[in-house]
Structure formats: C-alpha cells, structure tokens
C-alpha cells in the first residue's frame, strides 16, 4: 500500500467469505429477535444487511445514509437520510466499525437499536453489540465490491 495511507496491512474479503461471515453473524443474532426490521448503514452495510435479513427471514429493511470516508481519506460524518424513531426493535447492520465515527453517529440517532457489524477494529469495537471478525486498526479491509480479480505475473517474471 501507499505509505501515505495509514494502513500497513490489507485483509481481502471475497464474496464467498463475506457470505460465510454474514451467515455466522446471523447465527449469533437469531436468538436476539424477533426484530422489527433491519436498518442498513449505507453503503457498506447494504450487502451484509441483505444477507442477514435473508438468513433471519426479515422482510422489512430500511437505510440510514451516512457519509464519512472514501477510499482515500476519512472526514466528518454527515447524515444524508434517516428513518424516524429511536431504533427500538431494529437490528442495525454495517460492514465494518473502524474508528467509530460513523458508529457513534448511528448510535446517537438510534440508541435503542441492536448494532451488529461483520468486521470490527479495536477503536470502534466497543460501539457495537456483536461482530464476527476483528482486524487490526492498521488493516485495510478490501471488500469484494471495491476490488476485481486480475492477472498477476509470476514473481520470477517480475524480476526480469
């Protein structure tokens, strides 16, 4: 990775791995219901929310749209769209809790929601009620929607 980026490691997640991890999270959440619905934090939480809603047989899905960072930098979190209410009975889902900036805002808006993420980093982990996999704070999680498989030459050929 570019050394100007704050991440030293990359944790690539395939579509298959994401589905396995979402199913594992759903397995932990099944006893916590019944849920009113799933509240996906966009955009990262959309795919995990769909998988978890399927596994828990939940048909009501809504979104909270928060923007805080892109692939280059993290900025101030801002709300683009939010449902009404305090989150009581709702399962709030995101792909990742990183620094906790988005999670803190979501918690403020929906203090009574149960908050689950697929992946968690140490700085944000205390803000979620459940997660599947923890990675280091210095690790960039490369989600399948952010990457594409491509040819890589053999190591011997790169030295020629």
User: What is the DSSP pairing of strand 9-12 with strand 139-142?
Assistant: parallel
Dihedral sign, CA of 33, 86, 75, 147?
Answer: positive
Structure tokens at 159: 């030295």
| Rounded-to-integer distance, Cα 28 and Cα 87, Å | 19
Q: Is 98 a catalytic residue?
A: yes
Which of 70, 95, 138, 146 is flagged as catalytic?
95
**DSSP three-state, residue 25:** helix
Residue 32 is given by DSSP the state: G
16 catalytic, yes or no?
no
The one catalytic residue among 16, 57, 98, 129: 98
86 as an active site residue: the answer is no
Asked if the bond preceding 48 is cis, omega within 30° of 0, the reply is: no
Beta strands across the sheet bearing 74-81: 74-81, 61-69, 37-42, 90-97, 114-120, 133-134
Among 94, 129, 138, 146, which one carries the catalytic annotation?
94
Residues classed as catalytic: 94-95, 98
């Amino acid at each position: 990775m570019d050394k100007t980026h704050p991440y030293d490691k990359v944790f690539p997640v395939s579509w298959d791995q994401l589905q396995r991890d979402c199913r594992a999270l759903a397995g932990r959440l099944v006893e916590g219901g019944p849920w009113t619905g799933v509240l996906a934090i966009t955009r990262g939480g959309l795919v995990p929310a769909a998988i978890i809603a399927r596994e828990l047989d939940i048909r009501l899905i809504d979104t909270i749209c928060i923007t805080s960072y892109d692939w280059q930098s993290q900025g101030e979190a801002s709300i683009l769209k939010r449902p009404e209410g305090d989150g009581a009975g709702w399962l709030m889902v995101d792909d990742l809790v990183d620094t906790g900036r988005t999670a803190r805002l979501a918690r403020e808006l929906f203090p009574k929601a149960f908050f689950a993420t697929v992946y968690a980093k140490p700085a944000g982990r205390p803000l979620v009620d459940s997660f599947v996999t923890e990675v280091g704070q210095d690790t960039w999680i490369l989600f399948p929607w952010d990457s594409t498989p491509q040819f890589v030459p053999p190591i011997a050929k790169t030295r020629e």
